[in-house]
Amino acid sequence: MSDQAQLRRIHTLGKHYVPGRYGKPVATPGIRISMVHPVSIVSIITRAGKTKLLDAAMLSKFGAELPHPGGTMQGRAVTFYWCGAEQYFAVATGMAEGALYDALRQAAGDLASFSDQSHARMMLKVEGPAARKLLAKGTPVDLHPNIFPEDGSAVTQMAHVGVHLAADGPNGFVLSVFRGFGESFWEWLTSQAAEFGYEVR
């Protein structure tokens, strides 16, 4: 068995992630937080002049082109998030170690550069009626649904930590941060969620 096959994705927050209800005692928590784990994350950087060819390759393989700036596209078992000029994240759950990276490389060849970020990033889902209010505490991005719709995607900062932020439904968001900042970001997120009452799932 190769070293790559033996790798296992370790839960970033460890003992800090404890399911339960916290903060303000309310009948229904305003915030629900869950870890997206294990998850496959691959960054994509388009080669110069290859955008249309790469879109066609992704559409053929995964059923979706890469998203427009600030957007998200849902493909077959893979979600593509915009994260910069000609840069994207491909995200999937339920795939074997390295499988998403291999599938992207096989589909696109030399049309783009790929980097597996599955062990490098932590991904959280934040949802609930107070989710927009919570996240607005930490980002200059306008999260009003008329400005940041359900397919919205942005690169921003929260608590001095770089965050990729994407909408996931009317009152849900997916946040991705480098795992090295995971504990400090978790501390900020949960302290800011306390006033609404929050549930860790």
- pLDDT confidence of residue 5: 47
Q: What is the pTM of this model?
A: 0.93
Residue 112 sits in the same domain as residue 133: no
Give 48-106 pLDDT, tens digit per residue: 999 999 999 999 999 999 999 999 999 999 999 999 999 999 999 999 999 999 999 99
Give 106-143 pLDDT, tens digit per residue: 999 999 999 999 999 999 999 999 999 999 999 999 99
Residue 90 sits in the same domain as residue 149: no
Query: Bridge-partner residues for 117, per DSSP?
Result: none
Cα 129 to the chain's mean position, in Å? 20
Give 148-190 pLDDT, tens digit per residue: 999 999 999 999 999 999 999 999 999 999 999 999 999 999 9
CATH number at residue 20: 3.30.1360.120
Last residue of a domain, one of 116, 144, 177: 116
Q: 83 with 164: CB under 8 angstroms? A: yes
Rounded alpha-carbon distances, angstroms, from residue 84 to 1, 15, 25, 66, 134: 36, 33, 40, 12, 24
- pLDDT confidence of residue 7: 56
Provide CB contacts within 8 A for 163, sequence distance 6+: 139, 155, 156, 157, 175, 176, 177, 185
Radius of gyration for the alpha carbons in the chain, expressed in angstroms and rounded: 17
Asked whether the predicted pLDDT for residue 6 surpasses 50, the reply is: no
Last residue of a domain, one of 96, 116, 136: 116
Residue 26 sits in the same domain as residue 124: yes
**Joined tokens for residue 158:** 């929260």
> What phi and psi, each to the nearest 5 degrees, are found at residue 135?
-70, -25
Q: Which of 157, 130, 132 is nearest to 26 (CA)?
A: 130
Whether the bond into 145 is cis, omega within 30 of 0 = no
Quick check: is 7 in a domain? no
- pLDDT confidence of residue 58: 98
- pLDDT confidence of residue 10: 79
- The boundaries of the domain holding residue 109 are 40-116
pLDDT category at 147 given cuts 50, 70, 90 is very high
Rounded to an integer, what distance in angstroms lies between the CA atom of residue 89 and that of residue 130? 26
- pLDDT confidence of residue 3: 47
